[in-house]
Homo-oligomer: A and B are copies of this chain.
Amino acid sequence: MALLVYKFGGTSVGSTERIRAVADKVKKAHDLGDQIVVVLSAMSGETNRLIALAKDMQEIPTEREMDVLISTGEQVTVALLTMALHALGCEAISYTGAQVKILTDSSFTKARIREIEDAKLRADLNDGKVVVVAGFQGIDELGNITTLGRGGSDTTAVAIAAALKADECHIYTDVDGVYTTDPRVEPKARRLDHITFEEMLEMASLGSKVLQIRSVEFAGKYNVALRVLSSFKEGCGTLITYEDTQMESALISGIAFNRDEAKLTITGVPDLPGVAFKILGPIADANIEVDMIVQNIADDATTDFTFTVHRNDYQRALGLLEQTCADLGARKVTGDDTIVKVSIVGVGMRSHAGIASTMFKTLAEEGINIRMIGTSEIKISVVVDEKYLELAVRALHAAFELDKIKA
């Protein structure tokens, strides 16, 4: 008998028909003897409907009231799923975040969970009930309703799994697992049975939007085994845990990419202490997030400085950088918003030399010019012209034999 936390997103509970399908799935697992807590999001579209109502009331709606408003979305789905379970003869009970209670700080619309009271949940589970909890919401010390921000239902599920020391936390979504890369780019992409938290974090932040980064961090922190599965398709999904011996054999787990970046370069900057701050300070002040940063010495007295930003911020960043160029007496500013970032990710590269050289050799053989390189402990990223994206991903997928199942 296992204790499992199931989380279903808005698409999975998007209609009464789909809610009934979720009830069927939960009932089957419950009948097998597992103890089950279900965490739900609002029906897809509902949160946006409520936000539109709010904006019709107040240009920038008060955040406390926004949380009172949008937390109703999950309250509706937990009641409906519990009714659907009752209709199947399955004992079940619903709870809002406040009822559980899921104690958070008071940062309305982006609260952080502080503590979860597990007494009620444990008692209900021991009574043989399925417990259905509203995701995304909690209550602060003063009794105000709070919400956790986008993707908060995943965080709720992981936090409850941690509090109950659940065996696994299943995140049901519209994909059937984590893939070696995006199957729309490389049809040979393969579903991974296992991936580590660290790899998942790198994959997620690089654009594989299967899971919210925060819930992965949270799962890693509390060592909750996460499993990503499809709501609509049978299968065992991808299990996300800490590195284990079995997984060490894989050098590279996957290839991530990001089409949303643009690159800016300032050249001939007088190489003095504090120059990086002078360049990036105005960018940060304008609330523009910077991803990769590379600095090269061009000659003895000057340096070249390159960084990437989101494409939406490209024009603004370019304007700021030209001002900085004039202020610093640098040579010139160039930029390019037709680039992509391609990254190979894997915990295996920690202990294996030669990964980088295989990557660079593969790209060179395809005639792909590398415009920028960045690395972390378990990731190597390159920036290339966007026209090479598919070619680069497929070549690297083949070079690291990601289409083959590892022993």
Interface residues, chain A, with chain B CB atoms under 8 Å away:
16, 19-20, 50, 53-54, 56-59, 61-62, 64-66, 68-69, 71-72, 75-76, 78-84, 86-87, 93-94, 96, 98-99, 143-145
Contact = CB atoms under 8 A, between A and B. Distances in A.
Q: For the complex, would chain A's binding face be called helix, strand, loop or mixed by DSSP majority? A: helix
A59 B84 CA distance: 10
B84 A16 contact: no
B79 A65 contact: yes
A20 to B, nearest CB: 7
Contacts of A98: 98
A78 B303 CA distance: 58
A53 B76 contact: yes
Contact of A99 (B57, B81, B143): B143
- Copy count, this protein chain: 2
Contacts of A86: 58, 62, 65
Those 3 A-B pairs whose CB atoms lie nearest each other, nearest first: A69-B79, A72-B72, A57-B83
Q: Which of A56, A57, A62 has the most CB of B within 10 A?
A: A57
Nearest to A101: B143
Given A16-B53, A53-B16, A59-B87, A75 B69 contact: yes
B143 A57 contact: no
A255 B59 CA distance: 49
Nearest to A78: B68
B54 A80 contact: yes
B57 A84 contact: yes
B99 A80 contact: no
A61 B93 CA distance: 13
A145 B76 CA distance: 13
B20 A57 contact: yes
Contacts of A20: 57
A98 B79 CA distance: 17
